[in-house]
Amino acid sequence: MLKTTQNIVLLLCLWLTAGLATQLLAGTIRVGKMRAIKSIRTGIGIAKSGDTVLVDKGLYREGNIIIDKPIHLTGMQRPVLDGQNKYEIISIKSDHVTVDGFVVKASGQSSMQDIAGIRIYNKRDVTIKNNILEDNFFGIYLQQAHNCLITGNKLRAHGKAEHLIGNGIHSWKSDSLTIKGNRIEGHRDGIYLEFTTNTQVRQNTSHGNLRYGLHFMFAHHNTYTHNTFSSNGAGVAVMYTHHVHMKNNIFKDNWGDSAYGILLKEISDSDIENNRFEANTSAIFMEGASRVRIKNNIFNANGWALKIQASCMENQIEKNNFLGNTFDVATNSSLVLNTFDSNYWDKYEGYDLDKNGIGDIPYRPVSLYSMIVERFPPAMILFRSFMVTLLDRTEKMIPGMTPEQLKDSTPAMKPVQL
Amino acid sequence: MISVKNISKRFGKFQALDDISFQCERGQCIALIGSNGSGKTTIIKTILGMVIPDKGIIEFEGKSIANDWTYRNDIGYMPQIGRYPENMTIGQVLDMISDIRKIPEKSLDQELYEAFRIGNLLNKKMGTLSGGTRQKVSACLAFMFNSKVLILDEPSAGLDPISSEILRDKILSEKKKNKLVIITSHILSELDDLVTNIIYVQDGNIRFHESIHALQRETGEEKLSRVITSMLRQEDAKQNGVQPKALKDQWL
Amino acid sequence: MKKMIKYIVADILQSRIMIAYTIILLVISFSVFAIEDNPAKGILSLLNIILFIVPLVSIIFSTIYIYNSSEFIELLVSQPLQRNAIWLSMFAGLSLSLSLAFLLGSGIVILVYAWSATGFIMLASGILLSNVFVAVSLLASVRIRDKARGIGAAIMLWLYFAMLFDTLVLFLLLQFSDYPIENSVVALTALNPIDLSRVLILLRIDVSAMMGYTGAIFRDFFGSTSGMLIALAMMLTWIGLPAYISTARFRSKDL
């Protein structure tokens, strides 16, 4: 018993030393205008596995740079790699590559190919960090990548139209990625994940992208926390996915007819918790969503806090705060298959005689006029007129058009403490 | 001074004035007499520019009054019913009208003001006053500006006998100042000794317009009421050869 | 004329109804903001009051005041005054008094609790609406001789602007929902000063919802500077036109 333990310890020590040794043995190749090696391509060419290619600051126009061995490509004071609007700038075709500290700009553009600033081809354990990606077609493209880390990058493009620009961070058929602390602006989709699983998306800011701040399809078992998605053309769209966890994110200022804080399409078995939805035209739009738990979120000053289509079922909406939204809930169905519990609705006008903090009469978050507007959008112009107020009041007293069962039977009297 | 020429006025289907002409001069005191709805008030209102005639012109000292308003500087008017904004005080009303007239305080005629003791009531609101007191205020306003022409619509209605007498004396003294006074009244007795001319209006027409002396001579009567009754009988007799006995009751 | 306006204003401001109006506005506005911890919600509650009470009181009070002043107006006409001056003094007197009542009753509270663009638009709307409905009441009372019928007409006009018009628009909207009618709807709302004020405020407090497809059309129109100016011009027309027509009619009116 003791022997085995000793052996294990010994083995561990050996392994550690070996590891350290490779580190120490690994060489550093310096590239720069004033140095012997003037081109990054040459630097990479002579580098061995585990070497670091250290690049001085300056402008490098080397077309397509292919990294085909496990090296660290590191920029000193952010050297600029210019793709001259023709090339894919960095292509990573090896595992264990790090790209750190560059300005990568002006990749080629194509409507046939997905040309990116930095692209990973079917590899694993790649780290891309602290880069500035300017004006690229696609920013960072992960194709069947595994266990990669994308962090601290700033991506900015100046897309004019959706078909003339690619996504910021684009991932296809990848797994176990960590996308953390990046900022993406002006791309088509800020972060796009397709067939990407077990991935963490944390602390990113996706702002002012042409289409979606975050967009994923068939991307199961992913977690999104502490991100901010603001002022994107159409907000956030998540589709055909199960087991999504969205927590502590901020969705704000997504304005437009088809702009959503989040568009949930065919999403199931997921949680949306502790997020903040502020000033979106529709905070959450649900279509074909089932078993989604929406809990402890704040919905503030949205046009519609929740738009729930008929195809949604078994969703739980509980302990959220609804504050200053034009409409709290809108639906196109009279069938109610979702539950509302213990939310705080600032429009609630009931009372709490037994002082237990729960309103004594149920709150019906769907107003008659919201249903009229749902069917005849121009009717919005009459909103808040005396006639409309009267209509809504009458409907509240004698419900006729609004779904009878859509109600919160235990509305909170005070905002839920979060 | 005032000449009314061929004035006609219709209110809807009702012909209020039908081609009326007459002339008034300074020093005259003219009584406008006629039954209710005969057109007396309409005549006064056309002269004051409150009613705009459909046809004909009115001249004030030779100038047409149409679209003019300055001539009203020379007219003092006492309405039949004087109603004023309820929350204005008497003082404010007097003040406001004086301000409109732009006549210096020194040259204001304060006689009635003092005779009616308006000074004690200056802070009273118009809404709280009795009809008689309001008439006194109206009378004050009409005489205050020494206007060349005085138009009084039922001046004694609602006044107590003493105030009535004060007003009557005032009219007399103004008449002596060579002013033109036009009065309408139902109570003919109070017009005795006051009027110099009579215009009798009936159904929008002038039945007659004569000086009181001529009328007295013609009828041989002294009292105004009798003069008029007998005048009307004569006129009717002339026109129809019949004697309508109901006429007298119409205005007495 | 200035002095005439001064006396008319003084007279109106002392009337009990006016004092009650001011106090009621003050109590409502104050309680609305005091009860709601969120000023945006206070503004919302106040919106209904401004769109409802202000036009109602303005039109009814003015109409009654004009009818009750008919003898006084006659007296003024017998004085050396231009008729225009008399009528415009009545208008100015009523407008100033009702605007002042609104300013004292709601304006100050709005400025204290909602010092924002929305608050300012609300304040301006209240004052403009007061003026619009004074002007409309002048038109009604100059055209209708009988007091009872005149007041009836004023109530009908208010009902029309406050409710019937919107019902009509809603009906049209539903009837023609298959056609692109958004622009016509914008034009329609400009025909009702209450709707105009409401939409201007709606565009601010429900900005998120108004950014939807149709909302965006309204916003593009009313949200821009030129749209605001057009709205203001419409409101001023709503004041100026009835005032002008009523003055023209008063000039040749038989009293």
pLDDT digits (tens, 9 = 90+) for B160-198: 889 988 998 898 888 888 899 999 887 777 788 888 898
The residue of chain A with its CA nearest to that of C174 is A376
Per the model's pLDDT, the better-predicted residue between C47 and A198 turns out to be A198
Least confident of A94-108, A253-267, B209-223, C231-245: B209-223
Percent of chain A with pLDDT over 70: 94
B72 contact C CB<8A: yes
**Is the model's pLDDT at B145 over the cut of 50?**
yes
| Residue of A320, A277, A318 lying closest to A300 (CA atoms) | A277
For residue C106, give its domain range.
2-251
pLDDT score of A381:
84
* DSSP annotation string for B105-134: GGGS--HHHHHTTGGGGTTSBGGG--HHHH
CA-based nearest distance B42→chain C, Å: 9
CATH class, A100-397 region: mainly beta
CB A253 within 8 A of CB A276: no
Query: CA angle at residue A323 from A317 to A328, to 5 degrees?
Result: 55
Among A232, A226, A127, smallest CA distance to A188 is for A232
Closest approach of chain C CAs to the CA of B112, in angstroms? 19
- How close C116 comes to chain A (CA, Å)? 16
Give me the residue spans of the domains in chain B.
Answer: 2-251
Q: Do C75 and B84 touch (CB under 8 A)?
A: yes
Q: What percent of chain B has pLDDT over 90?
A: 12
Minimal Cβ distance to C80: which of B50, B101, B138: B101
For residue A192, what pLDDT is reported? 96
Identify all chain C residues contacting A303, using CB atoms and an 8 Å cutoff: 206, 208-212, 215
Taking an 8 Å cut-off on Cβ atoms, the answer to whether C214 and A380 are in contact is yes
pLDDT reading at A16 higher than 70: no
- The answer to whether the Cα torsion of C15, C17, C20, C26 is positive or negative is negative
Shortest Cα–Cα distance, A283 to chain C (Å): 10
* C174 near A CB under 8 A: yes
**Partners of residue B52 in chain C, C-beta under 8 Å:** 252, 254
User: Closest approach of chain C CAs to the CA of B170, in angstroms?
Assistant: 21
What average pLDDT does the structure give for chain A? 90
Are B100 and C81 within 8 A, CB to CB?
A: yes
The beta-carbon neighbor of B51 closest among C76, C83, C255 is C255
Whether the predicted pLDDT of C215 surpasses 70: no
Of A302, A346, A389, the CB nearest to C208: A302
Domain B2-251 annotated CATH 3.65.10.10: no
Higher pLDDT, residue A345 or A334:
A345
CB-based contact B92 C74, cutoff 8 Å? no
Q: How many domains does chain C have?
A: 1
Tokens (6 digits) for A40? 């990054």
Cα R_g (chain C), whole angstroms: 19
pTM of the model: 0.81
B and A make contact (3+ CB pairs below 8 Å):
no
Of B81, B83, B96, the CB nearest to C7: B96
**The two structure tokens encoding residue C105:** 């009753």
Neighbours of A364 (CB within 10 A): 24
How do the domains of chain A map onto residue ranges? 100-397
Instruction: Indicate the pLDDT class of residue B156, thresholds 50, 70 and 90.
Output: confident
A-to-C residue pairs, Cβ atoms closer than 8 angstroms: 109
**ipTM associated with this complex:** 0.83
Q: What is the mean pLDDT of the segment spanning A258-271? A: 92
Comparing CA positions, the residue from A281, A387, A380, A374 lying closest to residue C181 is A380
d(CA A39, CA A55): 9
B85 and C72: CB-CB below 8 Å?
Answer: yes
B97 contacts on C by Cβ (under 8 Å): 75, 79
Tell me which residues of chain C have a C-beta less than 8 Å from any C-beta of chain B. Answer: 3-4, 7-8, 10-12, 14-15, 68-72, 74-83, 252, 254-255
CB C196 within 8 A of CB C190: yes
Name chain C contacts of B49, Cβ cutoff 8 Å: 77-78
Q: What is the pLDDT of residues C23-64, one digit of tens each?
A: 999 999 988 888 877 777 788 888 888 888 999 999 999 999
The whole-number pLDDT of residue B252 equals 43
